[in-house]
Structure 1
Amino acid sequence: MTTTSSAVQTTGLPFPRTEYERRQQRVFEAMERANLDALFVTACGHVQYLVGYHGFGSYFMPFPLILVPGQKPTFVVREYSLSNVRLESCVEEIVTYREQFDFAPVCAAAVRRFGLRGRRIGLELGCWNLAPADVSALQAQLPDMEFADATRLVATEAAVKTEMELEAMRIAMEMTDVAVRTFQQSLREGITEAELAANIDREVEEAGGVVRAAWGTLLFGQRTKDSHGSPKQNPIRNNEPAFMELAGLKNGYACGLVRSAVLGRHAETEFLHDLSIEVLEAVISAIKPGATAGEVDAAGREVLKRHGRPEFLNHRVGYQTGINWVERGNISLEPGATDILEPNMTFHMPIILRGESGYLIGTSEHVVVTERGSEILSQTPHTLYRA
């Protein structure tokens, strides 16, 4: 086990240290309201939100950020990743372990140093990066502690963006819009998904951004029946649909967008797209401070009920965005959800409908909740593009 308390380099931080301190303070206040004496933050997006480190080193071992009100954060990480964590986080107190079997004993020792015997610890049980075996090991090492589910605690605080965060998201969306325009302008008979993806990456890079089209969804023709799919050597033919869902990136913040097109004519997907626009616009109209996530979802489903097509939508109408494209445990615009929308929350609403023949086509918008409604971030229309 290694502990470092010396000043850390912060050249990898996208925001000032004071911004991370502000975020941590908000979480400390939320912990007090939840009656938590300590919090283990393990979801990569939540860790990045609080200290800057992207968490990639934790792909097979948890890297918990231990938060205790009134104390400096302690980061428990794999020794192999220590140099990256020092460079890319604002944490001064770093404790290391080498192998999986060291994880729980080292975490327990870090907790005991805070004098928290018999206290209540929150775990992100509903997020990625914390396996049931990790939880069991922690409970075995800390039998006198009470563990509680704190899945939504950081997510709820991170939902409301600062102007710094919104600026990063606006820049990310500018790159997404470059990707959309390239997608539309590149469509011609015979071009493959992979070739179009390469065009997108090149144009976005020339614009000074990052989009990584190969990691997103880009599909032509019959492959638009797949719910997700990276670009392949699949050419588009005349009278076939095309579908993309990509996100520009800035400082870890992703702004995803769905756009669809038809080369020539394709009656079924054109009908689906017209319906998706109507659903999307109803969802956007329902977004405002004080509305619940469930009410927003219901507004979209009501459109499909009126058309007698409720089965066309088999997923939620949207989700909270920010660091990473999406994080498990964040606010979801789904049936019955009770989360209340606030100004400066951001959401992506992909309205993708499955038709009777299996085609998946739709559109989306990425919005910021404002004092009176919402602001659409994209500058590209959500109408169907016809090439």
Structure 2
Amino acid sequence: MTTELYPRERLARVREAAGRAGLGALLLTPGPDLRYVTGYDAMQLERLTCLVVPVSGEAFLVVPRLELPAARESPAGGLGVELVPWDETDDPFALVARRLPRGLEKVAVADRMWASMALRFRAALPGAEQVAAGTVMRELRMRKSAAEVAALLEAGAAIDRVHRRVPGYLRPGRTEREVARDIADAIIAEGHAVVDFVIVGSGPNGANPHAEPTDRVIHPGEPVVVDIGGTMPSGYCSDSTRNYCVGPAPDDYLAYYEVLREAQEASCQAVRPGVTPEEVDAAARDIIAAAGYGEHFFHRTGHGIGLESHEDPYIVAGNTEPLEPGMAFSVEPGIYPGAHGARIEDIVVCTETGFERMNLTVRELTIVQ
């Protein structure tokens, strides 16, 4: 699967895209762009690791000598890219500059490159304008291949298994933090390599979409928002939100939860090629507003997902870029009146004719007895 996720021909597509953008070279340091192109999940260090992709010339990967074995053993080692090690007393930025063609007018640096490194490159390449590599990479990364969709399906199934465990962790008297620890352990047990986030929002904390787990005790009759995600060994991410209640739920909560469920379903059903992200956003937002809860839905409907849990495309008003097959993103409207809140989130992929869900656990409210 590694070869399918990180194919050799991807480097050529990146070079062609850089050329169309009028760039002389791409400089990709550790992060999602480097992993997308090479499969190398390099460590973020103060020592420079950088994939250099000249539009004219062969790409090469500059690595600290002590990281050379890791680079060789990674998928990058099988791509035929020259590995250029540097020693502790070398200047790797000058090394890159010497190997690049003279007279470059514009280079793209990775969006996640440390400022200290970008400034060193500016000094080493004083005649070259620096731009963000994301302007090139987003066009490639947001259209997922069949192998990437399969990786997202695997991630979705893994986080679904975690959600099926959650009722066993919820009971009156436990704190959000205690539940979150159990969930984090389950995320790893169900196949993730990294826990990215665990939100356990009980009662009023559920009205904060990005609530951090606290020592608040969960009480009978309280709704609980559980939003969780992680990164799989493949590098691809999961993200799913479901809602639970410890015992019978309040009547006012049940009323808006049904509105939310209808809105989330309508938003998913709106997904197909040619539809814009803002139309998908509106499909949910219009239903919520018509029911009188518009002011309580105050975030975008979704975000792209892949090697990052948040990436293009963003499902929000003002985004008029038509959806295309292979685009993957969350659909997660929420309603947050204050005493409690709710959000329903699935990852979906736009297909040739509509959409496919990556998350298949029930979207109805789960009552924990």
Same structural fold, with TM-score higher than 0.5 when normalized by the shorter chain: yes
For residue 345 of structure 2, give the secondary structure of its aligned residue in structure 1. Answer: strand
Deviations 1:232-269 (A, max 9, x none): 44432101111111125431111210101112222343
Deviations 1:138-196 (A, max 9, x none): 22321222333432321221112222222222121111111111113443322333443
Aligned counterparts of 1:160 and 1:265: Cα–Cα separation in 2: 41
Determine if the alignment matches structure 1 residue 255 to structure 2 residue 238. Answer: yes
Shift of 1:213: 5.9
Q: Which residue of the partner structure matches residue 33 of structure 1? A: 20
Q: Which residue of the partner structure matches residue 269 of structure 1? A: 253
Alpha carbon RMSD of aligned pairs, Å?
A: 3.0
8 Å Cα contact 2:243/2:344 also seen in 1? yes
Aligned amino acid, residue 352 of structure 2: E
Aligned amino acid, residue 93 of structure 1: E
Q: Which residue of the partner structure matches residue 107 of structure 2? A: 121
Aligned amino acid, residue 246 of structure 1: I
Match of 1:145 among 105, 112, 128: 128
Q: Which residue of the partner structure matches residue 5 of structure 1? A: none
8 Å Cα contact 1:201/1:210 also seen in 2? no
Aligned counterparts of 1:43 and 1:295: Cα–Cα separation in 2: 35
Match of 2:282 among 257, 273, 298: 298
Match of 2:152 among 150, 155, 169: 169
Match of 2:217 among 231, 235, 238: 235
Q: Which residue of the partner structure matches residue 202 of structure 2? A: 220
Determine if the alignment matches structure 1 residue 365 to structure 2 residue 346. Answer: yes
Aligned counterparts of 1:214 and 1:320: Cα–Cα separation in 2: 15
Q: Are residues 362 and 36 of structure 1, via their aligned partners in 2, closer, same or farther at CA, if it must alter by over 3 Å?
A: same
- Comparing 236-245 and 218-227, the one that deviates more: 218-227
Corresponding pairs, count = 363
- Comparing 346-355 and 189-198, the one that deviates more: 189-198
8 Å Cα contact 1:215/1:230 also seen in 2? no
8 Å Cα contact 2:272/2:351 also seen in 1? yes
For residue 284 of structure 1, give the secondary structure of its aligned residue in structure 2. Answer: helix
Match of 2:8 among 21, 26, 35: 21
Determine if the alignment matches structure 1 residue 188 to structure 2 residue 171. Answer: yes
8 Å Cα contact 1:367/1:376 also seen in 2? yes
- Comparing 272-281 and 176-185, the one that deviates more: 272-281
Determine if the alignment matches structure 1 residue 110 to structure 2 residue 96. Answer: yes
Match of 1:351 among 333, 352, 360: 333
Q: Which residue of the partner structure matches residue 323 of structure 1? A: 307
| Residue identity (%) | 25
Aligned amino acid, residue 361 of structure 2: T
Aligned amino acid, residue 32 of structure 2: G
Q: Are residues 305 and 265 of structure 1, via their aligned partners in 2, closer, same or farther at CA, if it must alter by over 3 Å?
A: closer
Aligned counterparts of 2:363 and 2:48: Cα–Cα separation in 1: 40
Q: Are residues 120 and 221 of structure 1, via their aligned partners in 2, closer, same or farther at CA, if it must alter by over 3 Å?
A: same
Q: Which residue of the partner structure matches residue 11 of structure 1? A: none
- Comparing 193-202 and 155-164, the one that deviates more: 193-202
Aligned counterparts of 1:373 and 1:180: Cα–Cα separation in 2: 26
Deviations 1:174-222 (A, max 9, x none): 1111111111344332233344345445555555x12766832123233
- Comparing 106-115 and 46-55, the one that deviates more: 106-115
Q: Any gaps of 5 or more consecutive residues in structure 1? A: 1-13
Shift of 1:225: 3.5
Aligned amino acid, residue 169 of structure 1: L
Deviations 1:292-350 (A, max 9, x none): 222222332222332343322222111111113224xx321122113321112211122
